[in-house]
């Protein structure tokens, strides 16, 4: 076997996005250390990687320090869907804040370059549309979503303070709705919810009138963006939005899933959750210019692959 290009740590590596990142970096010739406590992820996501001699897994909670030797760190660890992050909001905040402190400390000691996957939730229910990186957001700091929104905002603060105070090499990206194979079937996110309900011939749950908008980025496109960001020059710190600027209403998404799955169950309308953003769409001008990145997978194509994954999962 050839010598590895380097050793990369991925926190949250058994999660939906993390497992795809592990797979891509292994294929690119890196040694990959996957760290996860399986709070909102599953070992099934990385089972196919376990026989790879370049792949190593540690069961660990990032709220506790970790002592390893690495060249790069992708810090993804944090429950990202409302069902998961609101189940234990104090632990969610600790994961975002203490977890970032621990990973930044590790990066400082090993002189590793470190990337944070922040979130479009830092913009809250935005008063600016589309959302660009210079918008400071409209977040309720004491609402039920604050453990995640404010946790990630604080994580960004820590990253930039470590950069200024300790000259740490940092990268910060803000992820917009990402979907694709290996999503958790019960994570409460709209794409997985719609597909799982449709395949079970249950009504699709739409909150409000379904006229709120989201932008959906297929996971392969997102992984390209993460790797491009890590490979970018050190003076490109971010934050940089990564997402698909195509904007769809929730009702439009429901119609696509109904047509694709052939379900006859229809739609059930429920009240809007508190602080649910009305419009969400990334301005990716910065990503295009700094990284030469933009998504290429159209929603219909990505949904077909995701539906195929859930069909096989539910059949099993």
d(C-alpha 312, C-alpha 302), whole Å? 16
* DSSP bridge pairs for 207: 270
Question: What φ, ψ does residue 77 adopt, rounded to 5°?
Answer: -60, 120
Domain boundaries defined on the chain? 7-179+217-244+280-296
Mean pLDDT, consecutive 10-residue stretches, the chain (316 aa), reads 84 97 97 95 95 97 97 94 81 95 98 97 92 94 92 97 98 96 88 94 90 94 98 97 95 93 89 79 97 97 96 88
d(C-alpha 298, C-alpha 301), whole Å? 6
Q: What is the pLDDT of residue 79?
A: 82
Q: What is the pLDDT of residue 102?
A: 98
Q: What is the pLDDT of residue 1?
A: 58
Say whether 148 is catalytic. yes
Taking the CA atoms of the chain, what radius of gyration do you get in angstroms? 19
Residues 6 or more apart from 156 whose CB is under 8 A from it?
A: 116, 118, 122, 172, 239
Q: What is the pLDDT of residue 167?
A: 98
Q: What is the pLDDT of residue 275?
A: 67
The fold for domain 7-179+217-244+280-296 equals Rossmann fold (3.40.50)
Q: What is the pLDDT of residue 40?
A: 86
d(C-alpha 93, C-alpha 107), whole Å? 21
The answer to whether the pTM exceeds 0.75 is yes
- Which H, E and C letters describe the chain, residue by residue? CCCCCCEEEEECCCCHHHHHHHHHHHHCCCEEEEEECCCCCCHHHHHHHCCCCCEEEEECCCCCCCCCCCCEEEECCCCCCHHHHCCCHHHHHHHHHHHHHHHHHHHHHHCCEEEEEEEHHHHECCCCCCECCCCCCECCCCCCCHHHHHHHHHHHHHHHHHHHHHCCCEEEEEECCEECCCCCCCCCCHHHHHHHHHHCCCCEEEECCCCCEECCEEHHHHHHHHHHHHHCCCCCCCCEEECCCCCEEHHHHHHHHHHHHCCCCCEEEECCCCCCCCCCCECCHHHHHHHCCCCCCCHHHHHHHHHHHHHHHHHC
Question: What φ, ψ does residue 12 adopt, rounded to 5°?
Answer: 70, 25
Is the Cβ–Cβ distance between 133 and 241 less than 8 Å? yes
Q: Which of 148, 162, 179, 218 is catalytic?
A: 148
């Amino acid at each position: 076997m050839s010598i590895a290009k380097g050793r990369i740590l991925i926190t949250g590596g058994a999660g939906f996005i993390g497992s795809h990142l592990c797979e891509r970096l292994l294929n690119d010739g890196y040694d990959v250390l996957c760290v996860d406590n399986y709070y909102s992820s599953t070992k099934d996501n990385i089972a196919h990687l376990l026989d790879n001699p370049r792949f190593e897994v540690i069961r660990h909670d990032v709220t506790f320090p970790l002592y390893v030797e690495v060249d790069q760190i992708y810090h993804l660890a944090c429950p990202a869907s409302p069902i998961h992050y609101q189940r234990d909001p104090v632990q969610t905040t600790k994961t975002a804040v203490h977890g970032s402190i621990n990973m930044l400390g590790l990066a400082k000691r090993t002189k590793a370059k470190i990337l944070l996957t922040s979130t479009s939730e830092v913009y809250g229910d935005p008063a600016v549309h589309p959302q660009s990186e210079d918008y400071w957001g409209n977040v309720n700091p004491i609402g039920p979503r604050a453990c995640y929104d404010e946790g990630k905002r604080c994580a960004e603060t820590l990253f930039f303070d470590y950069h200024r105070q300790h000259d740490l090499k940092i990268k910060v990206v803000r992820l917009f709705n990402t979907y694709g194979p290996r999503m958790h079937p019960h994570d409460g996110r709209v794409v997985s919810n719609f597909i799982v309900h449709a395949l079970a011939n249950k009504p699709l749950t739409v909150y409000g009138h379904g006229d709120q908008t989201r932008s959906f980025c297929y996971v392969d496109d997102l992984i390209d963006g993460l790797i491009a960001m890590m490979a970018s020059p050190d003076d490109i710190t971010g934050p940089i939005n990564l997402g698909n600027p195509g904007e769809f209403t929730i009702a439009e998404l429901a119609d696509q899933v109904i047509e694709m799955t052939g379900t006859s169950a229809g739609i059930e309308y429920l009240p809007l959750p508190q602080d649910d953003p009305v419009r969400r769409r990334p301005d990716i001008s910065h990503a295009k210019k700094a990284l030469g990145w933009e998504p290429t997978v159209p929603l219909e194509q990505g949904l077909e692959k995701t539906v195929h994954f859930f069909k096989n999962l539910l059949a099993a």
